[in-house]
Structure 1
């Protein structure tokens, strides 16, 4: 009888089920949170922004379901506020030194650049450590030394021979991030094929080269005596079209990078599934951008909800039915929010964005 139960349990573990993400957030609900956050942040001269961020993250995490259970955002406003005050102090020091034309302003910029890999890794640690599901925390285990290799030394080395090896650097960066994410005692792995990145970036280089060459030819023909006329409305239109085309290409590249980070990822050997279509991603991103611009920012909450639903509801995990319940928590070391906030201030994308 005991052997029969063991065999039945093994059979249950062998049956794979697909667990989809769900997003239950609503634009109307989030708009009320967003408008209050915006107003209080203005009134308090930015102090409330730490509380605003926590409220926003808690809303998005709480409405993201996996296996019917919501995610949790665990950071506190005071953690974030301290980091933001330090960041604000550094920015004020920079502007003051720059106003006084002090050479120290240049050294401060250099220090920021050299510190970015460390800040980026710190931000990943903070972001994942404050993410949990079923009270089991995520973690990022990459080291500061690895951050300097993947985000400073490797890109410099790969850019030297006419950027020919930059696709390899981008691939290694994405794999580094995913390969150091843990959920409890379970680890993620990601090994995307390098050829994908070369095809993508070579296509981007060719497209941009054609656009730049075409723009140069058109603007030269619009000028007098073969020289471009910067005041010609046609020149402005051509320049705007080129900017929009590059914007489109940038979004498309981002879509493919995000898709591959999921498509080639596994959690404890179990496949992450994505049905994301880059063309659809571009459409959602571009229409969101237009909606935000045409409404002077009022459609921002709607755009955020729309993008979150699109990204999450195209993702799933294929694993045994009892896999989620078997994930066990592990002890994690506390870390500062400073890296997260400095990275946010410099628009570094982290976390679920991969």
Structure 2
């Protein structure tokens, strides 16, 4: 507790206070067949933001459920047209004897969707900053993000060309590009994260598929499988063969997930650690072990409550994020004036549609 009091970020919330909000949101979302979830998100954020103190004042969330709902409706038009074509239009063209045209139009539809995913990531960050107030000051950006959508496309595409080895570069470059376009009040953010600081962790994750090959050999040895024309016989009883098979497969996937989590932890420490706002420098201090506790805690909560505990995950994740955030430096309150950036009118419908929400 003492550490929290000396931290620039302090979270004052408790799950007991959050529970009435979470259960009410769940019931209303069920009754309205999911439509209320946009207003549910707003209620959650108002509580979480209000319980988050930065230096000497608490945050305030001013977004509305209506904004999120309108954003989602707009997405149905933007996303629906290319998606419907991929599902039905392309098949119709093929049946009519126009496979070439179907292939070209399908490629165009896929590119459009790919572009919208990148645009969604940018627009969601801009929207969240524009609805977050501190000392009566908000953030935002005058950059609409059209160029970021293109950057997301080509950087992601290029990152996979050398067998995926440039993925850390693409992730960090896009992170820097997003934050360098943002501001809070009169001050602009500066992000200078380096992919080289995370590459070792990524390389470990990258080489992990070799474990799948080794696991395949192990599975073959205990279940008696045919490998390249050579039958590997096992002396284990059939029941034990099945048990060993599932243990090996589960172990590989768990290990792969843990290594991926180690990379993500390193990525966030580097990315946030190189983020500044005028005289303030930020840090994110969660290590891999703390991330593992969070994830396994989530799994246990959901399983032990037969899924009902899912309504508390947003609380757990926000509390985890804030409690591991830190900031150092000074800020001149006399120079802190209101942002002049344009406030976007719609919410994160596009991001929600693609299920790529940020933490």
Of the candidates 320, 337, 340, which is equivalent to residue 331 of structure 1?
340
Q: Secondary structure at the match of 2:69?
A: helix
Whether 2:226 is the aligned partner of 1:226: answer yes
Indicate if the aligned counterparts of 2:126 and 2:140 stay in contact, CA closer than 8 A: yes
Indicate if the aligned counterparts of 1:178 and 1:261 stay in contact, CA closer than 8 A: no
Aligned residues: 331
Distance apart, 1:312 and its partner CA = 1.1
Alignment-derived partner of residue 349 in structure 1 = 357
Alignment-derived partner of residue 114 in structure 2 = 113
Alignment map for 1:274-293 (pairs within 5 Å): 274-293=284-303
CA-to-aligned-CA distance 1:314-354 (integer Å, 9 cap, x gap) = 2222223x63453211222132425x11212322133xx4x
Matched residues in 2 for 1:205 and 1:184: separation? 41
Alignment-derived partner of residue 272 in structure 1 = 282
Distance apart, 1:23 and its partner CA = 0.7
Name the stretch that deviates more: 213-222 or 266-275. Answer: 266-275
Matched residues in 2 for 1:141 and 1:260: separation? 26
Given the two structures, how large is their TM-score scaled by the length of structure 2?
A: 0.81
Matched residues in 1 for 2:160 and 2:86: separation? 32
CA-to-aligned-CA distance 1:74-98 (integer Å, 9 cap, x gap) = 1122111222234457777757984
Q: Secondary structure at the match of 2:263?
A: helix
Alignment map for 1:85-164 (pairs within 5 Å): 85-87=73-75, 94=83, 98=87, 102=92, 110-164=111-165
Gaps of 5+ in 1: 1-17
Distance apart, 1:142 and its partner CA = 4.6
Gaps of 5+ in 2: 1-5, 94-101, 233-237
Alignment-derived partner of residue 66 in structure 1 = 54
Matched residues in 2 for 1:301 and 1:47: separation? 16
Q: Secondary structure at the match of 1:317?
A: strand
> Highest relative contact order (Cα 8 Å, sep 6+), 1 or 2?
1
Given the two structures, how large is their TM-score scaled by the length of structure 1?
A: 0.82
Alignment map for 1:70-81 (pairs within 5 Å): 70-81=58-69
Distance apart, 1:271 and its partner CA = 1.9
Indicate if the aligned counterparts of 2:141 and 2:183 stay in contact, CA closer than 8 A: yes
Indicate if the aligned counterparts of 2:70 and 2:349 stay in contact, CA closer than 8 A: no
The verdict on how the C-alpha distance between 1:292 and 1:335 changes in structure 2, with shifts beyond 3 A counting, is same
Indicate if the aligned counterparts of 1:27 and 1:301 stay in contact, CA closer than 8 A: no
Name the stretch that deviates more: 328-337 or 143-152. Answer: 143-152
